[in-house]
Every structure is written in C-alpha cells, then in structure tokens.
Amino acid sequence: MLDGVVKSSKYASSYHITPLEGLLNDPNGLICFKGIYHVFYQWNATGTTHENKSWGHLISKDLVNWERLAPALVPSEYYDKNGVYSGTAVEKDNLLYLFYTGNVINEDGSKVSYQCYATSEDGIVFEKHGPMFEHPPGYTRHVRDPKVWFEEEEQLWYLILGAQTEDEMGTAIYYTSRDLKEWTFGGEMFSPEELAKLSQRGFMWECPDIVTLNNQRVFIYSPQGIEAQSNRYLNIYQSAYLTIKKNQQTFMIEHPEIVELDHGFEFYAPQTFVDKNGNQLMFAWMGVMPPEVEQTQPTIAEGWVHQLTIPRVLTFENGKLYQRPAQQLSTLRQSKQVFSIENKWEIKPKSMALEVDAIFEEASGDFEWKIKESTQITYQQKNKRLVISRLNWFTKLPEQRIIELEDDLKVLRLFIDGSSLEVFVNEGEAVASLRYFDNSNNRLSYHGTNQGQVTIYELKGEK
C-alpha cells in the first residue's frame, strides 16, 4: 500500500497489504462483517522486531481498496501485556468476536499464554473479556492461534489451537462451545494412531485452520521442524495441508503426506475466510525467514518490513487444493499489452506493479522470464520443472526453488508488485511466493519459442 513509510520506499508494494510502518506478520481475524471486509494482522508499530504485537486493522468493501483504522487490540491487560498474538474472527448475534492468544512475560523471565476473546457491535471498537479457560495440562506454553468455526449438524462451535506437547511434538487441540463463552476441552484433534500416519510431525504446529471445499475437509497448518526432502520443505518453517474426515468429534487423516501450500521462499501463517459470494479466500504472510535474513531485509532501513499475499480463492479439484487470485483483483487493471510468446521480447514498464497472464496453445516448451536483473522463472519441458531463482540479499548468492509438475505447463500467471512475486501455475495447481530486492531499472523480458500469447496489465496501487 502506498502510504506511510512504504510510500517513499525503493521497494514499495503498491497493491499488497503492508504496515504503515514497523513490522507486519500473520493475518488475523479475516471476516466479512455486516458487508465490510476486515483484515487484522500482527503489527509491531514501534519497530521492525517481533515484539509489542498488536492487531493492525484494515477494512474494505471490495478486497481491493483498503482503509486503515486504529489498532483493534493492543497489549493492555495482565493476560496480553506483552503481545496480542494471532487468532480468528466469527460473527454471532450481530456481534463480531475476536479470539486471540495473549502473551505474557513474567518478572522472572518465564512466559505464559492465555486464550482470550473480545467483542464489538460495530467492528471498530472492541471490548476485551479476558481468558476463556485454563492452560491445558500436558502441553508447553506454546499453545496459540485459535481458529473458531460453527458445525451446523452439531449446532456446536469448535475452537482449535496449535500446540506443542511436553515432549516437544507438534499437535493441535480443540474445544467446543454452545455460546462462544463456556468451552469444553476435547483433547487432541488427532489420536496417536492418526498422528503416527504422518510422514513428518515437527516440534510445533501454528495457525491451524479447517475449510470444507467441494465436500472435502482440509486441515491447513504451519508446522515447525519439518526436515527438507529433495525440493520440498526448504524454508525455515512450512505451511501445508492435510485432507481429513470428521465424524462427530473424531478427526481422521485421509492422506498422511504433508502437502506444501506454496513452493516459494516466503509464505507462512495462512488464514481462510468466506467472501460475499461464498468463496473460500486465503491471505498469508510473505515474511517467514531466518532471523539473520529478516533483519538484513533492505526495507528495515526504511522503517518497515513484510507484507501479506494477495487474496486467493481456494478450491479442491482432482484430489488437490488449488489457489487462484481473487477475481476482485481484476479491478486493479489499467493499461494492457498483448505479446506473442513465439519470440523473445522485453518491456520497460513505468511501474513494477504488473499482472502477467500467459496462455500456451500447446504444452509449453522451455522458456525464461526475467524480472529486472536478478529474478528468473525458467521452465524445463523435458522434466516438467519450473525453476524460480533470485539473489539472496543476505548471502549475496543466487538461490532457487523448483516446482515439479505432474502435467504439462499450459497457464502461467504472475503478480509482480515492486519487491514481491506470486506465481500461479496451471490455474493454481501450484503456487510460489517470494520477495526480491533489486535496484536496477524496471524490466520484464521473455525468451522462448512457444505457441500462445501473454497479456500484461499494469496495476494501480492502493493509496
């Protein structure tokens, strides 16, 4: 967003959600309440470190044009004095409920977590009601990120939390309620037998979420401690999904393989919500990275760091989770250019706020897209590999992520925004997100010999 310190940034993201200043991370409390979209997010307004977290607050009628409001929740009570951590939102009886984790650091340095809630009649001014229940026995203090939803058949509210067992294994626990105020502990979502099915478990699960897409339940979460395997699980922490089933209060894992949601460098803490048309949408944080890399990100010197992804529509097709750019983003389109992809070409746009839509008449052959000087997207038809590479701003060395496709590449969509790139492959069958920092002149080039065309839109930024 072109406001605050981002407005004058050399790396400004114009149509993505960014902080006014300071540090942004997890999206929180995503909801459409009384016809208005609310996006809350973890925000340190006082600096670019992971401290002093409040809930930043934006509202919109269309998911494109955003208005900033005062922080919805700030550290103020004994149960959240050191940080208002991540959570969710629901509507009940014309009230907006926010559920969150309160972070407390005691005088002796020990840390405590509380699961709390707040309510609002207008979605702007919130009243805190404090902790909902005691910390569950058998788990470390790492219990956080409540997600709440309503089960129609049971007429019951569910609340799930990411957690770490006392033997430092990642898991999720759940509670149930009739009124969102009195909660009953249900235990762990998955039995030991179900958890044993997983290919990997990790030492902590964050930001759990459950969505139902085309009658398929999908469990979305951000496990920490997953070991890298070939071209998978290469980031410091992952975000992934499992297909699951539910029978009353019993949750079962259908397929034990942890499927990454995003194949890029920066994607974490996704959260879903329903738009005005009944679509399941998702935002995520484009920021998780090793601390030494984060604190050398070039925007730190400008007084801000991180952004959210664009909103993505989720569907479940052919046994897979698909992610597509939200249709509302098409209203950002301004000037349009159409090129053949039979020969090489290059453009030098005024702004690097672009949507690039490439459609191949036949299965794509080899090609290379280049963004400015240091970011490339190449395709190797022989082994159906899409390779995304950039220059790491900390190591000053090139690095890459590889997407191994099952089918031929036929559609490629790029959303470029100043210092960010989101890649959608074959109508969202695979997605990759990343930040890049390149001070060279604006440039987008293509090298390849294919049948088809590419449409490039310059996109307007949000001011």
Residues known to be catalytic: 26
Burial of 299 (0-12, 13-18, 19+ CB in 10 A): buried
In three-state secondary structure terms, 375 is strand
For residue 384, what are the CA distances in angstroms to 263, 380, 410, 432?
A: 15, 6, 11, 16
Residue 210: in which H helix or E strand, if any? strand 204-213
Phi-psi region of 46 (alpha: psi -120 to 50; beta: other; left: phi over 0): alpha
- Residue 283 β-bridge partners: 271
- Rg of the chain (C-alpha set): 22
Distance CA 268, CA 238 (A): 7
Distance CA 182, CA 175 (A): 10
In 187-329, alpha helices (H): 192-195, 291-294
Distance CA 62, CA 73 (A): 24
Q: What is the DSSP string of 397-414?
A: SEEEEEEE-SS---EEEE
